[in-house]
Amino acid sequence: MKIYMGEDYKGMSRKAANIISAQIILKPDCVLGLATGSTPIGTYDQLVNWYEKGDLDFSKVVTINLDEYKGLSGDNDQSYRYFMNKHLFDRINIYKENTYVPNGLEADSKKACQEYNDIITKCGGIDMQLLGLGHNGHIGFNEPGGAFEKETHCVNLTKSTIEANKRFFEKEEDVPRQAYTMGIKSIMQAKKILVVVSGEDKADIVKEAFTGPVTPEVPASVLQLHNDVTLVGDRAALSKML
């Protein structure tokens, strides 16, 4: 595993964007696995900045997102499709038909998940998967205790996840109770994995995930078994790894 440190969030974001941009330059038609959440926003902003300067071309890039709330349409401002459009896709020269997010409006969970697995296969797999890291070690919506062997599946969101997400909604009842997410197996099949972490509040889980035992109780710990993982964090998040 490679570890890179930025002094602060901006420095971390720039280093992560450097790694993604190198992937795009080396393979212009690469398949990028993307993540939502507050941590990657700075990385996306930096990629947009380089695109605007003419340094990056996204016209052949394909993207596959980790997850989506079940029951939300892509034009709902709390959906992950909306998030990706706002923070990245609407700001670069990517073709929307080459950007994939699980279909939150597909009520048949088995169908939705199989269709998404088929998309990943059709695209030839993921060249680089970007991941954030939850306080309890979750990646995507793969919560502690889940099975490592799962591909895309429907999950019931935990109370802690609903609690963490309710700030984005008008009231707690509006927070979806289920989501479609790539499973650990899907994530581990990516050729390269890039994990971004920021803030002192992530320091404990970073250490636990990357130096502790590999266990479903800390989903991100399985990344220790992948042969090409890069961890990029700011000084605060990596403080217990130094």
3-state DSSP assignment of residue 151: coil
- Residue 181 makes CB contacts below 8 A (sequence gap 6+) with 66, 67, 102, 140, 141, 142, 152, 153, 155
pLDDT at 218: 96
CA 210 to chain CA centroid, Å, is: 17
Catalytic residue (one of 138, 153, 208, 234): 138
Q: End-to-end CA distance of the chain, in Å?
A: 14
pLDDT at 30: 98
Does domain 2-230 bear CATH number 3.10.20.30? no
Active site residue 67: yes
pLDDT at 161: 81
Report which of 220, 179, 225 is spatially closest to residue 67, judged by C-alpha positions.
179
Active site residue 143: yes
Domain ranges for the chain: 2-230
Helix segments in 95-174, DSSP class H = 109-122, 159-165
Report which of 75, 227, 66 is spatially closest to residue 133, judged by C-alpha positions.
66
Rg for the chain, CA atoms, rounded? 17
pLDDT at 164: 79
> Which stretches of the chain drop beneath a pLDDT of 50?
none
Q: Which residue type, as a one-letter code, is found at position 146? A: G
pLDDT at 227: 98
Active site residue 136: yes
Catalytic residue (one of 106, 143, 208, 234): 143
pLDDT at 149: 81
Catalytic residue (one of 65, 67, 87, 106): 67
* Residue range 85-124, pLDDT digits in tens: 999 999 999 999 999 999 999 999 999 999 999 999 999 9
